Amino acid sequence: MLPRPLEILNGHWGKVIGVILGLLFGWFAITYGFWRAVFVALTVAVGYYIGKQVDERTDWQAFWDRLRRG
């Protein structure tokens, strides 16, 4: 059986990740400025998307064809 704090977190991972991402974005915005923080958030999102495609062993030719078609 999990300890009580881990048991609570087990059902709320989306909220935990959302709070952590919000804190990071806020810190970046305060430290570096809003537009730089937006740039970092966009590069993280693109990196996540590409990593997800790699994990799912995407057919890269079909992937590029979809991007070109819009």
* Residue whose C-alpha is closest to residue 25's, from 42, 11, 48: 42
Of the chain, the percentage scoring pLDDT greater than 90 comes to: 29
What would the two tokens of residue 7 be?
A: 């048991």
Domain of residue 21, residue span = 4-69
Segment 7-30 shows an average pLDDT of 85
Q: pTM score, two decimals?
A: 0.62
* Total domains, the chain: 1
Rounded Cα distance between 36 and 42, Å, is: 10
Predicted confidence (pLDDT) at residue 8 exceeds the cutoff of 80: no
